[in-house]
């Protein structure tokens, strides 16, 4: 998709007193290092979506996201690189277009359309999507978060990478739209345990969504679990205590994280380790799904302080 991709993404050991105490080996798959803009699961989920759009002659790509969407940010850049016009359907008011995330998306040529939250809830509705296709017949519609069967194909490739890099027992990933965990389940071929950490509240519905995606992919693997109790209050919500724990882990390990996805996965891992969930000698891989550009949006909203986080280079 973009020639400068750093693949396979590196795997690093994470040294931490808690892991040593429980005799665990913990690695991180640094998908955040795939590309400085289209990083992590965004790269993997968009790879075959954009290839497909170009191969069957679509003139552009259209997708959905919130005002600080990592997905829309990555899609805008990737489409610019592929010389594909991009449209972002954004949940919320037009004032969002001046924030760091959407300012960059516009800089890369994305056209933004803002809709209210009630309309945004129709983003999976067949009638709404049919009308959208009629309005934009030359644009390939990619679901929110990039999650579809084409995304699963891209994400599944990280399993082959991992198997050639390190031996492990369990892989852990944050879960938002369920595309990443579904791709991992499909690509793993029931070789390892797979744990998903849902980052949004009331996420039990994602289990059925994962099942549906896997069924469409002709995969009936059951070597996975979805934890829905580590959301920290809801999507993009976190307590001062949680932020303190995330920062302490990041500073101790020098692993850059953000509090919406990777941070919640880290807190879940630490809690599970403390509870004795993993047996002594267990080998764990955590997947860093990128999204670090989102730190700038949290700084703009005064939810975090810039000098307390390991920030990526501004793009």
Q: Answer whether residue 3 is part of any domain.
A: no
Model pTM score: 0.96
Q: Other C-beta atoms within 10 Å of 103: how many? A: 12
Which pLDDT score is estimated for 117? Answer: 95
Instruction: State whether 191 and 117 are in the same domain.
Output: no
Do residues 128 and 181 share a domain? no
Residue 132 inside a domain? The answer is yes
pLDDT surpassing 90 at residue 19: yes
Q: Tell me: do 169 and 131 sit in the same domain.
A: no
277 CB-side CA count, 13 A: 17
Instruction: Please give the pLDDT value at position 269.
Output: 98
Confidence class for position 4, pLDDT limits 50, 70, 90: confident
The per-residue pLDDT of the chain, averaged, comes to: 96
The answer to whether residues 20 and 47 belong to one domain is: no
- Domain range for residue 298? 11-38+150-308
Query: Is residue 314 domain-resident?
Result: no
308 in Cβ contact with 247 (< 8 Å): yes
CA-CA distance, 219 to 79, in Å (whole number)? 30
Print burial letters for 170-179: b (CB count within 10 Å at least 16), e (below 16). bbbbbbbbbb
CATH number at residue 240: 3.40.50.1100
Residues 23 and 107 in one domain: no
Q: Evaluate if residue 315 carries a pLDDT over 90.
A: no
Same domain, 73 and 25: no
Give residue 313's pLDDT: 75
The residue from 104, 129, 146 where one domain ends is: 146
**Counting Cβ atoms within 10 Å, is residue 75 exposed (0-12), middle (13-18) or buried (19+)?**
buried
Instruction: Single out the residue in 122, 146, 170 at which a domain terminates.
Output: 146
Q: Let me know whether 105 and 232 are in one domain.
A: no
Of the candidates 146, 165, 199, which is a domain's last residue?
146
Q: How many residues does the chain have?
A: 315
The DSSP symbol for 233 reads: T
Residue 237 within a domain: yes
- For 288, residues 6+ apart whose C-beta sits below 8 A from its C-beta are 28, 29, 30, 31, 32, 40, 255, 257, 262
For residues 26 and 155, membership in a common domain is answered with: yes
Same domain? 33 vs 60: no
Query: For residue 1, is pLDDT > 70?
Result: no
Same domain, 56 and 108: yes
Q: Tokens 């296709």 identify what position?
A: 133
Is 163 in the same domain as 223? Answer: yes
Q: Is residue 205 part of a domain?
A: yes
Total number of domains in the chain: 2
Residue 2: pLDDT band with limits 50, 70, 90? low
Say what percent of the chain tops pLDDT 90.
Answer: 97
Q: Are residues 76 and 157 in the same domain?
A: no
Residue 313 included in any domain:
no
Name the DSSP class of 94. G
Share above pLDDT 70 across residues of the chain, in percent, rounded to a whole number: 98
Question: Does pLDDT of 314 surpass 80?
Answer: no
- The answer on pLDDT for 3 being more than 70 is no
Strand 111-115 with 86-91, pairing: parallel
- The pLDDT, as a whole number, for residue 257 is 98
Give phi and psi for 170, each to the nearest 5.
Answer: -135, 140
Question: Looking at the domain assignment, is residue 270 inside a domain?
Answer: yes
> pLDDT for 93-142, tens place per residue?
999 999 999 999 999 999 999 999 999 999 999 999 999 999 999 999 99
**Token reading at 86:** 């991009």
């Amino acid at each position: 998709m973009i020639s400068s991709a750093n693949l396979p993404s590196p795997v690093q050991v994470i040294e931490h007193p808690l892991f040593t105490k429980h005799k665990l080996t913990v690695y991180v798959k640094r998908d955040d290092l795939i590309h400085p803009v289209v990083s992590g699961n965004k790269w993997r989920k968009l790879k075959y979506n954009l290839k497909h759009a170009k191969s069957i002659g679509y003139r552009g790509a259209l997708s959905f996201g919130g005002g600080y969407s990592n997905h829309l940010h990555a899609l805008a850049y990737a489409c610019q690189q592929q010389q594909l016009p991009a449209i972002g359907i954004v949940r919320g008011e037009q004032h969002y277009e001046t924030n760091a995330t959407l300012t960059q998306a516009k800089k890369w040529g994305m056209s933004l359309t803002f809709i209210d939250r009630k309309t945004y809830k129709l983003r999976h509705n067949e009638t709404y999507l049919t009308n959208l296709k009629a309005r934009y017949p030359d644009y390939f519609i990619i679901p929110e978060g990039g999650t579809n069967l084409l995304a699963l194909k891209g994400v599944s490739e990280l399993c082959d990478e991992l198997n050639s890099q390190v031996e492990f027992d369990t892989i852990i990933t944050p879960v938002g739209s369920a595309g990443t965990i579904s791709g991992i389940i499909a690509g793993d071929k029931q070789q390892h345990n797979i744990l998903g950490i849902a980052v949004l509240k009331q996420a039990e519905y994602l289990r059925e969504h994962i099942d549906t995606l896997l069924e469409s992919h002709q995969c009936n693997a059951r070597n996975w679990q979805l934890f829905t109790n580590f959301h920290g209050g809801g999507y993009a919500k976190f307590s001062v205590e949680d932020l303190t724990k995330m920062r302490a882990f990041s500073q101790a390990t020098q692993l850059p994280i953000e509090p919406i996805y990777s941070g919640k996965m880290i807190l879940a891992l630490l809690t599970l380790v403390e509870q004795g969930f993993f047996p002594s000698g267990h080998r764990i891989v955590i997947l860093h799904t990128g999204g670090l550009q989102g730190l700038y949006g949290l700084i703009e909203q005064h939810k975090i302080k810039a000098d307390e986080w390991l920030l990526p280079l501004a793009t």
